[in-house]
Structure 1
C-alpha cells in the first residue's frame, strides 16, 4: 500500500498545525516566525491546560504500581506483551520503547501503530553458566524488533487493537534484512549483503516518504546468546509498515553504534539530513547528509538517498561537524602529537590497521568519532527536530560517573555549512522537577514532552528519591524550569517512552516499558501492571490516552 502524499519542506508548518509557528518563536527566539504565526488561528495551548501540580484523579502517590495521569485524562491498554496482534497468531514483543502512528490512506478510523521492542528478559537469562538452546534463542530473537499493530476506532471513537488483522505483522530478530550502502559486502561485515534480523530496537523516526527508521541499540548480549556477528547489528533499519513482502534494509551509510534515535529533516538545498544520538555514557551526536537531493514526486524511491552521503560527528566545544572519513581518522592517528585515549585500550598501530577503508569507519563510528575529536556526551539517548525552525533538541539522560546525576536537554541550531550553535535548554534536577530525560517529542503545537528514564534500581532512592517513579512532563516553551508540569507517572520500575499522536492530537500513544524490571524472570515480582484479571505478570504495554484538552 502506497501513501500518496510525501511531506515536502514547505509543508512542515502545515504538518505542525495552525498554532505551531507561535510556539516555534518561543523555542527558537526567531522573531520572524512570530509574524507568520499572527496570521494563523492559534492552536490549543496544551501547556496552559495542564494543572500546575500533578494531581491524578484516583491516586495521590506517584510511587504506586499504576499508570497515573493528570486529572481529565484516561487510558486504555491497546496491547501488552504476549497479546495476539494478527490473524497469523503473532504476538506483541517484549519491552516496548517507541511508537509511531501511520494513518491508513483514505481512512480516518483505521491506522497502523509501529512499536519498537528494545530488549528481552527471561528466567533462563539469570543463569549464564548454561548454554542457550535454540528454542531460547528463537524466543529471544522473536520478542525483539518491532510490532506493527492494526488499530481501528470503535463506536465510541476510541482506538482499539484489531487482533485478527491481516495488516498487522512483526519484524524481529528472525527477519531477513538487506544491507545497503558502503559497508554492504565489505570485510567489515564478513562480506554479508543479507543479515538475520533486527533487535535491541530503542528509538526511531519517520522518513519524509512515510516509512519507519528503527534504531538498533544495545545489541551485544543478544548477539552473544544467539551466536550472531556483532558487525551485523548496531545499524539503522528502514521498514515500510504497509509492505509485508519487501525486505527491510539496514542503511550502513548512517553508521554503526548504539543508536538511541533518529530524526529526519531536509536541508535548504533539499538533501536528506538525519540526526542521530548514541545512547552510551560517553556517546556522540551524529549527522548524515545525503549525497543526492530529495524529489517530492519520487515518493519512497527517495529511500535510496540513505545509501550514499557524508556522516559527521558533533564537536560541541568548537561548534562544528567533523566528517567521519577514513582520511580524517588516519590523518589524526598519524600525527606525532596524537595520543590515543586510554579508554580505547588500543595502540596507534592497532587503530591504523583497523581503519583502512570508509566501511571500517562506518562500522566503528563511535571509535572514529573519538579519534577525530568529537565531543562525548552524557547519554544523548533521543533527539527531535522542530519542523518549523529546524532546531534539534537532544536529551542527554545522565552520567553519574561524571557527576551528572539528572541530565539535561540541549538545543542545537545550525549556522549553515558545517557549524552550529548549541546551548543547554533545560537541566534536570530539583529546580526543574524531573530527572534523567530519556525520551522527548514535539507535538503539533510545538510543545516539548519529556519522559524520564531513571534506572529501575535507583528509583525512589538517594538523589532520585524525590522524583518518585518515572514520569512524563511538559516543558514550558521558554525552558523555564520552575514551570515544568507533570502529565503522567509510570508503574513501579517502569519507564515511559514513545510518545506519538494521532493527526488531530485527540489521542496520545505511549509505551509503558519494563514494569517490575527488578523482579522480571524471578519468583519475586515487583509489579503486576497492567493488573489484568487472573494475570499477575507484569507486562510492557502500549496505551492510548484521551482527555478533555486534546
Structure 2
C-alpha cells in the first residue's frame, strides 16, 4: 500500500475549484443558482479541504523539463500499449503517434471495456526509414498506411488494480490505410471524389468522438502528405469515419455530409426536437467551427441504424462575430461568387473564376468545405481543433491551439452558448473564457474533456521543437491541466501532469465512474534525426532504448 495519502476525486476537485454550479451559472450569464444552491452544491459535491482555500492553492505539480510522465502524489499510470506492441492473437501491432481516445465500456463497466485510439502520423525517422531518391518503396508505403488509422484495444483492471491490455480480446484489431471504406452521403459518387463510392483506407486520424448509438467517429486530419506519398486521391481523405469497436461486421464508412477539412474533435448532442447535432473542430491554422444537424430525429430503439442520420442533414459554419450559424450550400456559394461587389477572402488563394469552376454541384461544398465556409462569411479562428460539450445544455467549449503567424502564441479556450440552450438553434453567443499564457500557466490548448462536475481538463500541444525555449520556455514540457470554473472570478488552472521530453498529451477521456483517465502520449523524442540522439527514452527508461508513443491509464481517483 502506498503510504502517501490517496487524494480522492472529490478531494481533488475541492482543492482546485468550486464545482458545477459556479461553472454553469457563470457560463450561462444568468442567475440560475442562488447562493443557497451554490452552498448545497459545494457541500454535496466537494470535499472540505482542511485549512486550505482556492485562492491560496498554487498548483498540483510544477512545470518540468524532465523526461518523465509526472503526476501529483497518490496518482500513478499504467502503460497500456506502445508503438509496435502486439494487440491481438493475429499479430496486429499498435500504430504510431496515438492521439484521441474513447472508452467503450462492457455494459456500464468502468473496469472492463474497449479503448479506441487514433493514429495520426508515421514518422520517417522512427517508422519508415529514409526515402531513396526522394521516394518511398512499396514496402515503406505499406508501413506508412498500416501505422496510421485506429486501434481497438481490449483493456481491463487486474486483481491488483492496474490497467492492462488484453491481447486475447476477440475485439482487438487495427483499422488502417489498407482497409476499404464506403463513402456515404452527398459526395458519394460525385465528380469531386472521382466518381468513387468505395475508397482505400483511413489515415491522419487525430481526434474524434463517440455517437449516441455507441459507435466511434474518427477524424481524418493530417492526411494530405500520406495521400500524396501513397499516390491516392486527396479528396478521398479529410472526412469523418464511423467504426463500431465492438462489431467488425459494422460497415466502415466515411460520412461526407459532415464535410471535408482538417477535422479535429467531434462531439455529438441532441437538439430539443431530437435531431442529431455534431460539432466539429478544424486544426488548420486559419479555420472555422462547424456543426451538422440531421434531417431525421434520433430514436434509441433503432440502435446503430441511427448511423443513417449522418448521411442527410444540413452543414453549418460559425460566424462568431454576428453569433450565427451559416448554412453551407452550393447555391449560396455561387450566389456570392457571382456578385461582382463581393470581395474574395484573401486567404483563399483562388480566383473568382477558379472558385466558380470548383463549386458546381452540391457535393462540391462538402468536398471543399473550408473554402465554402470562408466564402459565405464564416469566421476563421486560430486552430479551433477541439470542441467539447458541457453538462449545461447548449454549451460548447473550444480549444484554439495557437497561430504564431497572427502573434497568437499561446492560444485560448472559448465558449459557444446556443440560444435557448438548444443545439439546433441558429444563433449563439461566443467569448474567450481562458487565454493561454503566463497568467493562466498553460500554452497551446489542444485537447479538452469535461467531467460530471463541469470542470475542464486541458492537454497542451506546444510544438516539440519550441519546447523550453523562447516564449515557451517558462511552460517547460507539455502538460495536462485542470481548469476549474473557467467563466467565474474563482477560476483556477492547476497543472495535473507533465509529459516526457518533446511529447504531448492528446485525447484524454474518462471511464464512466471517472476513476480512471486514459490519455495518449505522442511525439516523445520527436526531433531526433540521423545525426542526433533522441531527447527522450520514454517509456522504455534508461539503457539507450528508443522512445515510443503510448497510451496510459491514470489512476488514483476514488470516492
TM-score (norm 1): 0.91
Q: For residues 153 and 49 of structure 1, do their structure 2 counterparts lie closer, same or farther at Cα, with a shift above 3 Å needed?
A: farther
Query: Are 1:304 and 2:312 counterparts?
Result: no
Name the CA distance, whole Å, in 2 between partners of 1:236 and 1:527. 33
Residue number in structure 2 paired with 1:5: none
Asked whether the equivalents of residues 110 and 512 of structure 2 are also in contact (C-alpha less than 8 Å), the reply is no
Asked whether the equivalents of residues 110 and 511 of structure 2 are also in contact (C-alpha less than 8 Å), the reply is no
Asked whether the equivalents of residues 294 and 314 of structure 2 are also in contact (C-alpha less than 8 Å), the reply is yes
What are the within-5 Å matches in structure 2 for residues 341-380 of structure 1? Answer: 341-380=345-384
Give the secondary structure class of the aligned counterpart of 1:119: coil
Name the CA distance, whole Å, in 1 between partners of 2:282 and 2:557. 37
Moved more, 163-172 or 94-103: 163-172
1:44 Cα deviation from its structure 2 partner: 4.6
Moved more, 351-360 or 21-30: 21-30
Name the CA distance, whole Å, in 1 between partners of 2:408 and 2:428. 24
Moved more, 92-101 or 104-113: 104-113
Name the CA distance, whole Å, in 1 between partners of 2:310 and 2:542. 47
Name the CA distance, whole Å, in 2 between partners of 1:490 and 1:108. 25
Residue number in structure 1 paired with 2:120: 118
Name the CA distance, whole Å, in 1 between partners of 2:536 and 2:28. 41
Moved more, 422-431 or 338-347: 338-347
1:283 Cα deviation from its structure 2 partner: 0.7
Query: Are 1:99 and 2:101 counterparts?
Result: yes
Name the CA distance, whole Å, in 1 between partners of 2:179 and 2:541. 31
1:245 Cα deviation from its structure 2 partner: 2.2
1:41 Cα deviation from its structure 2 partner: 8.4
Q: For residues 537 and 397 of structure 1, do their structure 2 counterparts lie closer, same or farther at Cα, with a shift above 3 Å needed?
A: same
Moved more, 175-184 or 123-132: 123-132
Give the secondary structure class of the aligned counterpart of 2:140: helix
1:31 Cα deviation from its structure 2 partner: 3.9
Residue number in structure 2 paired with 1:471: 479
1:27 Cα deviation from its structure 2 partner: 3.9
Residue number in structure 2 paired with 1:395: 399
Moved more, 489-498 or 33-42: 33-42
1:430 Cα deviation from its structure 2 partner: 0.9
Give the secondary structure class of the aligned counterpart of 1:487: strand
Superposed CA deviations along residues 1-31 of structure 1, whole A, max 9, x for unmatched, are: xxxxxxxxxxxxxxxxxx8567533443454
Q: Select 2:551's aligned residue among 542, 547, 550.
A: 542
Asked whether the equivalents of residues 514 and 557 of structure 2 are also in contact (C-alpha less than 8 Å), the reply is no
Q: For residues 288 and 88 of structure 1, do their structure 2 counterparts lie closer, same or farther at Cα, with a shift above 3 Å needed?
A: same
Q: For residues 135 and 46 of structure 1, do their structure 2 counterparts lie closer, same or farther at Cα, with a shift above 3 Å needed?
A: farther
Name the CA distance, whole Å, in 2 between partners of 1:372 and 1:321. 11
Residue number in structure 1 paired with 2:538: 529
Moved more, 61-70 or 359-368: 61-70
Give the secondary structure class of the aligned counterpart of 1:253: helix
Name the CA distance, whole Å, in 2 between partners of 1:489 and 1:544. 14
1:239 Cα deviation from its structure 2 partner: 0.7
Asked whether the equivalents of residues 355 and 361 of structure 1 are also in contact (C-alpha less than 8 Å), the reply is yes
Residue number in structure 2 paired with 1:381: 385
Mind listing any 5+ residue stretches in structure 1 that lack a counterpart? 1-18
TM-score (norm 2): 0.90
Q: For residues 535 and 45 of structure 1, do their structure 2 counterparts lie closer, same or farther at Cα, with a shift above 3 Å needed?
A: farther
Asked whether the equivalents of residues 243 and 253 of structure 2 are also in contact (C-alpha less than 8 Å), the reply is yes
Give the secondary structure class of the aligned counterpart of 1:275: strand
Mind listing any 5+ residue stretches in structure 2 that lack a counterpart? 1-18
Give the secondary structure class of the aligned counterpart of 1:42: helix
1:505 Cα deviation from its structure 2 partner: 1.1
Name the CA distance, whole Å, in 2 between partners of 1:337 and 1:404. 32
RMSD, matched Cα: 2.4
Residue number in structure 1 paired with 2:11: none
Residue number in structure 2 paired with 1:52: 57
Query: Are 1:432 and 2:436 counterparts?
Result: no
Q: Select 2:85's aligned residue among 67, 83, 86.
A: 83
Q: Select 1:317's aligned residue among 291, 306, 321.
A: 321
Name the CA distance, whole Å, in 1 between partners of 2:407 and 2:42. 45
1:109 Cα deviation from its structure 2 partner: 3.7
Residue number in structure 2 paired with 1:273: 277
Q: For residues 45 and 206 of structure 1, do their structure 2 counterparts lie closer, same or farther at Cα, with a shift above 3 Å needed?
A: farther
Q: Select 2:234's aligned residue among 213, 216, 230.
A: 230
1:324 Cα deviation from its structure 2 partner: 0.7
What are the within-5 Å matches in structure 2 for residues 471-550 of structure 1? Answer: 471-479=479-487, 483-519=492-528, 524-532=533-541, 536-549=545-558
1:498 Cα deviation from its structure 2 partner: 1.2
Name the CA distance, whole Å, in 2 between partners of 1:535 and 1:74. 24
Residue number in structure 2 paired with 1:43: 45
1:344 Cα deviation from its structure 2 partner: 2.3
Give the secondary structure class of the aligned counterpart of 1:291: strand
Moved more, 40-49 or 194-203: 40-49
Superposed CA deviations along residues 426-459 of structure 1, whole A, max 9, x for unmatched, are: 1010111111101111012211011111101111
1:353 Cα deviation from its structure 2 partner: 1.1
Aligned residue pairs total: 529
Residue number in structure 2 paired with 1:147: 151
1:105 Cα deviation from its structure 2 partner: 2.2
What are the within-5 Å matches in structure 2 for residues 322-341 of structure 1? Answer: 322-341=326-345
Residue number in structure 2 paired with 1:28: 28
Asked whether the equivalents of residues 262 and 275 of structure 1 are also in contact (C-alpha less than 8 Å), the reply is yes
Q: For residues 93 and 342 of structure 1, do their structure 2 counterparts lie closer, same or farther at Cα, with a shift above 3 Å needed?
A: same
1:72 Cα deviation from its structure 2 partner: 2.0
- Runs of 4+ deviating beyond 6 Å: 33-37, 45-51
Name the CA distance, whole Å, in 2 between partners of 1:365 and 1:128. 36
